[in-house]
Structure formats: structure tokens, C-alpha cells
Amino acid sequence: MTKILTGGVGKTEVAEALNGLLDTGRVEVAVSSDMDAAMKLRAGQADYYLGTCHTGAGASLGLLLGLLGSDVCHTFGRSVPSEDEVNSLLDSGKKVFGFGMDQIADTTPVLARAIAARAA
Amino acid sequence: MSTILASTAEAGSKSLDFSLGQQLTVIALCALTAFISHMALAVFNDGVRPFMLDFIQGRTTRTATTAVAFGLSAGFIFGLGAPMALASGVLNPWLLFLPTDVLGILSPKKWLAPLLGGAWGAVVVFGLGGANDLAHELPVDFLTAMQEMSTPILFLFTLFPVLAITKQFGRLRGGIAGVVELALVVVTMKAWPDIFPGAVAMAVGVLILIGFAVQKDLNQRRLDRAEKAKAAAAGDTEAAGDAADDPMNSLFSASAARIRRYLPLYMALGAGVCLLAQMHVFGGGEATSFLIAKGEYAEAAQVDFYRVFGFIPLIATTALASGAYAIAGFTLVYPIGYLLPSPWLAVLAGALVFAVEVLALSYLGKVLGRLPSVRDSSEHLRNAISESLWLAILFGSLMAANTMGGGLGIMIVGGLYLLNEAMGRVVVRMAAAPAAVLVGGVLLNLLYWLDLFTPVKG
């Protein structure tokens, strides 16, 4: 079971969007907070973290970047990534993604599809 | 016709020309913020701050960090700071401090950073001053029309605690908070007609939200403790949770120690930012520029004071996780600056506030770690602030459009706003409507010169 945590300013919106897009039998989505999520990812109790804020990196990644290191964290800022971009990031081991909250509607589905393809 | 034009020009005579002292302050402050950013001691962009850790520890290069800073800031400089400044005629932190973040990190040499920062400050004050003078001389004066903005901003912002309570604690508590706030606004209007009607309601709303959050956290801690006691009684090992806390604690205390070492520099920074706010040519929050432009300093101070609650946990956490502080600190120096009567007091107060903030950082991190609901509240608060201000700024912009050009104005401004949405928000949503008023104003002036449009009224 793949577990995705959401955090940051738009955490509930992202979780709702993910639940609407994903097969919840295979992927579990939970609303979290940055501190909690950092601990769970460290301990291997969760697989991915999607954080949102105005910049796409401050409130969403702040703590995780410090605790988990830049190797597993990536920010899209306020841009919307392509599916290929997300796939190559996942291939390189990124688990923590930050993006701007005014792009939730566009960015969440791209991430959801790429992660779901791996969970299958 | 000529009388109409004359009265328009008069109404807009409250122009924000920068005095020599103000120009020098802005230039000197920009030089200082660029230097501080070069030293990786503080950046304004909350999104860039986390990336400073790798830079401070030498795991990444200056060039790579510059690219990150520019990538995360560019949209906010051109899509938020610049349109807000041109539309309000007032300086804002996105226009001043995001570029100095980038310029400071970019500078390969220590001496170059303040030079570049100061140059940027000069570009802004002279550029914005010139643009303001020009705008006020136009037959269709959009800067004066923009003053329509203050009523929707103040009254809709009053309701932000209600939105935050509803999102975090559900419809029932949100509904009750809404009724309480509405009643307080009505009572305030009747009983104290001289103060801003939302003042009491906002204070009570924020207190209710904080009360709910603290109550929830205390209950949760009691439950946790009971569970731990039970587990301990059953002889389970319970060290796992404490061990997980260690990396966070060591990261936080190293960062707090690094920031404390530069206390005098931070005090100078606080003095500068507070002085800038005291000069009343600068608005710190998303909407306060419009209140400052209209001379409503006490109201601007209230708005930015409540905004602080949404930012303390964010700024404390990113600072403790990265070792770099925020250019405006917890932004508490903004409201203090607006209210202080003299520049000297502002310098003193700014330095003191920053000293207290820097020294309290480590303690704050510990407290916030134990209060997850309070941290959660601050995120809901920030969300609620942007939602209420988004509607207020959109509505205020359409009112300004109506003042400028009636139905045609509404069509141009509303149309440009919708177009920006359809194009995937090139301009940040908060600044899209004011930017549209700006473009609409220029367009209406062009139409006037072509004899295709007559200004609505004076």
C-alpha cells in the first residue's frame, strides 16, 4: 500500500483532489503536517509527501528539506509540471514535492497519475 | 469637460512623492538586505529559505542557489510586487526584498551585494515616483480610483477568522463565530462610531480560533500522556518517539545558534524595516498598500498585526530548519512602524523587536513543536486571509473600474482578470485584478486621446 501525506496551506484541498483521482484501495491518502510527515517519511511509515503554499517551497517544504535533505525534495514553484518531468523525478528518488497553492487543480492530477502508475 | 478633468486631477493630488530622506532610507535598506542575503543570514522569500541550509553547509553552489531563488521569486516580483506597487503607488516587500534576495545570493563578492541592492532600491524609488506622477496627470486617474479598494478590504478581512475556524473546526463552530463577529460589527458601529467597525470583531475572532486550537492540543496531549502511561505500565518500550525527535532538535538548535551570533546585524535590519513602515510609503501585507495609500494607518496596522499570527509558525520553522532568518522577521515591525509617531522611535522599536524575536526563536520552535493544532491554525489563517483578500481585491478592483470607466471599465478589468485565469495565472491571483485596473486605466486613457471615451465623473 502506497501512502501519500499532504501538508501545507492547501493540505485538505490536495487530499480531496487525490482521493477523487486515486484508487483508494491501492493508495492511501492522509492529511498531515510538515513535522509529522518528516518523521513518518524518515521512519518509512509513508512514501510520498505533497506540500502546498504560496511559493510552493516555504511552508510546504521548509522542514522536510532540512530533515530529509534535498535529494528527496523537489519544488515545482508556481509552474505546472509535465508527466515526463514527474516521472523522471520519481525515478531519481524524489518523494517530497512542493507546489504553489494556486496550481493545486493542475498539478495534483499529474502527480497523482504518476504515483498511481508506480503503486500498481 | 475641463472642469471634470480639473476635479479628477485634484482628487488625485494626494500623490506619494518620495522625499530625499525616504529615497535614501529605501536605498540604504536595500543595500543592507542584499548584504544580509549574500551572507545567507536572512531571505525574504519563505520558499527560498529552506534551500539556504544546503548553501550554508556548502553542499550547493552560489549559482545553483541563485537559480532557485530567482525561480521562486520572479513570479512574485513581476506578478505581485510590481503590479501592486504601480496600482497603489506604495512600496511593498515583494518589489523591494525579493530582488535583493536574488541580488545578494548572486553577488560573488561581499562588497558587490550592497552595491547591487542599493542600485535596485534607487531604480524602484525613482521609477515608482516617476510612474506615480505620470499616472496622476492622466485624464483617467486610476490611482485615485484605486482608493475604492479600502472598504471591501477592511470589511471582508474582518471575516477571515470565521473562514479559518470553519475550515479547521467545522461548520457549527464556524457559523457561531460568524454570528458573533457580525453582531460585534453591528454593535461597534452603533456604540463606537469613531473606530473601525471590524476592530473588535477581528480581535474576538482570532481569540476564538486560538482558544479552540490550544484547547484541542491540550486535550490531545492529555490523551497522549494517558496512553503513554498505559503503555509504560504494560512494560512496552516507548523510546521510539523520543528518538525520532532528536534530528529535529539538533537541526533547530544549530540554526538558532547561528542566527543568534549575528544579533547586531539583525537589529540593524529590524530598525531599517520598521523605519520604512513608519515613513508611510510602504505596505507590508497583500492589501495594506491600498490602505496606506489612502492614509488609513491604524486600519493597516490592524490588518498586518493579525496577519502576523499566520506567519509566526511558518517563519520560525523555516528559519530553524535552515539557519537563515526572514528579512522582515515575524513581520511584527510593519504594524508597529505604521503606528509610531517618529522615525527615531521606529528605529529603536525595530531593533528591539528583532532582538527579542531572534533570541526567542529557539524557545518558539520548542513550543510550536508541542502545539500542532496551533501550527495548523496558522496555515488555515493564511489560507483564510488570502481567500478573503482575494474577493476584496477583486471586488475593489471592479469598483475602481466602475469609477474609471463605468460598464466599459468593468468589462476591460473583469475581462483581463478572467483572461489571466484562463491562461493559467501568469500574474499571481491576488495581484491580477489590480494589474488589470492598471492596464485598463492605460487603455481608457488611450481611448480618451482617440476621442472614443469620455471619463465617467470627477
Scan residues 335-364 of B and list those with Cβ closer than 8 Å to A. none
Percentage of chain A surpassing pLDDT 70? 99
Q: What is the pTM of this model?
A: 0.89
Greatest CA separation for chain A: 32
> What is the pLDDT, as a whole number, of residue B12?
40
Nearest CB to A102 within list B45, B59, B425: B425
CATH class as words, domain A2-118: alpha beta
DSSP B379-430: HHHHHHHHHHHHHHHHHHHHHHHHHHHHHHHHHHHHHHHHHHHHTT-SS-HH
Give the Cα separation of A27 and A115 in Å (integer). Answer: 9
Give the residue extent of every domain in chain A: 2-118
What 3-state class would DSSP assign to B151? Answer: helix
Contact by Cβ (8 Å): A98, A78: no
Q: Which residues of B touch A98 (CB under 8 A)?
A: 47
DSSP code of residue B12? T
Give the Cα separation of B376 and B168 in Å (integer). Answer: 8
Instruction: For residue A49, list its beta bridge partners.
Output: A5, A96
What 3-state class would DSSP assign to A74? Answer: strand
**A65 grid coordinates:** 528539506
Q: Which residues of B touch A106 (CB under 8 A)?
A: 424
> What is the pLDDT, as a whole number, of residue B9?
38
Q: What is the dihedral of CA B422, A56, B315, B178, to 10 degrees?
A: 40
Give the Cα separation of B438 and B442 in Å (integer). Answer: 6
Name the nearest CA neighbour of B202 among B175, B184, B186, B227. B184
**B370 grid coordinates:** 508541542
Q: Which residues of A touch B169 (CB under 8 A)?
A: none
| Binned average pLDDT, 10 residues per bin, chain B of 458 residues | 39 62 96 97 94 92 94 89 90 97 96 97 93 86 86 92 92 95 95 88 92 88 85 61 68 93 97 97 91 92 92 92 96 97 97 97 89 84 89 94 93 96 86 92 93 76
Contact by Cβ (8 Å): B184, B436: no
> What is the pLDDT, as a whole number, of residue A18?
92
In angstroms, the separation between the Cα of residue B47 and the nearest Cα of chain A is: 3
DSSP code of residue A99? E
- Identify the helix (H) or strand (E) that includes residue A48: strand A48-53
Give the Cα separation of B319 and B269 in Å (integer). Answer: 16
- Model-level ipTM above the cut of 0.95: no
pLDDT in tens, A28-37: 999 988 888 9
**B43 grid coordinates:** 531571505
Give the Cα separation of B410 and B208 in Å (integer). Answer: 38
Residue B24 burial by CB count (10 A; 0-12/13-18/19+): exposed, middle or buried? middle
Pairing verdict, β A48-53 and A73-75: unpaired
Contact by Cβ (8 Å): A65, A73: yes
Determine, for residues A35 and B369 on separate chains, whether the beta-carbon distance falls below 8 Å.
yes
B244 touches chain A (CB under 8 A): yes
What 3-state class would DSSP assign to B280? Answer: coil
Q: Per CB distance under 8 Å, which residues of A are interface residues toward B?
A: 8-12, 33-36, 38-39, 42-43, 53-59, 61-63, 65-67, 70, 75, 77-78, 80, 98, 101-103, 106
